[in-house]
Structure 1
Amino acid sequence: MARVEIKIGGFGGQGVILSGYIVGRAASIYDNKHSTMIQAFGPEARGSACSAQVIVSAEPIAYPYIVSPEIMIVMSQEAYTKFTPELASGGVLITEEELVQPHNLRKDVKHFSIPATRFAEELGKKLVVNIVMMGFLTAVTNVVGKKAMGQAVLASVPKGTEELNVKAFEKGYEYGVEVMAGGVPA
């Protein structure tokens, strides 16, 4: 596996930064890879744009900043507008179906959409939308293995929420497997 650059964008309160942390942790601690994570957010605690930049590599990482992400997850319209021009040609774009209305969708990227907010609400807690997205990311890319990502989720979420977060991860993963098998449109 070569160096893979991932950018996760959304607004404060969606767990964007935690998502980046989970991907990095999954890669470096549980999947025997190297990773870095850089975060950026506005001055407000919730509601402002934020992003996490993660690099995963089989080799040590000399430069920790992303240049042109191959994988991008966006969970808000603002993140879509602001960040998608950075996505590498041939890259993977994952959008939250209910919060992002793609416009001027590039023909040179593979686009996946998931109703992660709806799935999180069905599980009883909208706050696990990011974990649903992590499950989906795991299923539609080969950046980090399922077992490693699951372990990172368990190690990273608040105590007492493990069962809910495992369900959220599995829901996203199962949906991703269905999409990849052609059972639901991407």
Structure 2
Amino acid sequence: MSQPERKKSKEKKPLKIEIRLSGSGGQGMILAGVILAEAAAIYEGKNAVQTQSYGPEARGGASKSEVIISDTEILYPKTSRLDYLLALNQVSCDKYARDLKDNGLLIVDQDAVEHLPIVKVVSLPLVRTAREEVGKAVTTNIVSLGALVGLSGVVSREALRKAVLSRVPKGTEQLNLKALKLGFKLADEHQDKVTEL
């Protein structure tokens, strides 16, 4: 093998991770996307973009946030083939699961998503954990982020913690840190329960 060929084979492929967070309006998916992008860009020095869309209803309509994290320049800000999909309801799962890469991971709320596509999936009690263990269903987005990062490692837990603290409303920091820790705990407990259907 010549010197240039050897050098080429050692070159690392650039990191590019595409993530979609989806659910109903009012579940905080937009804020979750902003927090995740901030964790990557500000606290880890990676390139990150975040885009969003939501239905016409303020609460209850469809909502999605997309995040791309890369160690190189991001030329197009929209996702095309997802590495990770978080779906907090059946509609989101049905609509977006087909956008997953072959080895992509689907993370669903186990109480809201009953019909699962044939993909690698982990089903977690995200809304129930927020409602029953944190005491506020509104923290579902933070529980979900903790679970996503705990399962994927797309950013460090510490970077996510810092981004959460910088973005949540003043006076809710401790509540949101509790939600984040519970999300990490869910990921740790279910790391070996990722199933391929």
* TM-score (structure 1 length as normaliser): 0.93
Instruction: Give the 3-state SS of the residue equivalent to 2:79 in structure 1.
Output: coil
Quick one: which amino acid aligns to residue 145 of structure 1?
Answer: S
The question of 1:176 aligning with 2:187 is answered: yes
Deviations 1:45-96 (A, max 9, x none): 0100011111001112111111111110001111111111111111010001
Residue aligning to 1:60 = 73
Deviations 1:14-51 (A, max 9, x none): 00111111110100001111100110111110100011
In structure 1, distance between residues paired with 2:177 and 2:27: 17
Cα deviation, residue 102, structure 1: 2.7
Superposed, 1:33-52 pairs within 5 Å as 33-52=46-65
The match for 1:156 among 167, 175, 180 is 167
- Unmatched tracts of structure 2, length 5 or more: 1-13
In structure 2, distance between residues paired with 1:6 and 1:136: 13
Quick one: which amino acid aligns to residue 160 of structure 1?
Answer: G
Instruction: Give the 3-state SS of the residue equivalent to 1:91 in structure 2.
Output: strand
In structure 2, distance between residues paired with 1:163 and 1:142: 23
The question of 1:120 aligning with 2:134 is answered: no
In structure 2, distance between residues paired with 1:28 and 1:43: 30
Quick one: which amino acid aligns to residue 68 of structure 1?
Answer: R
Superposed, 1:24-35 pairs within 5 Å as 24-35=37-48
Residue aligning to 2:145 = 134
| Runs of 4+ deviating beyond 6 Å | none
Instruction: Give the 3-state SS of the residue equivalent to 2:102 in structure 1.
Output: coil
* Residue identity (%): 38
In structure 1, distance between residues paired with 2:35 and 2:17: 15
Residue aligning to 2:178 = 167
Residue aligning to 1:146 = 157
In structure 1, distance between residues paired with 2:63 and 2:94: 13
Q: Highest Rg: 1 or 2? A: 2
In structure 1, distance between residues paired with 2:182 and 2:90: 23
Of Structure 1 and Structure 2, which has the larger fraction of its residues in helix? 2
* TM-score (structure 2 length as normaliser): 0.88
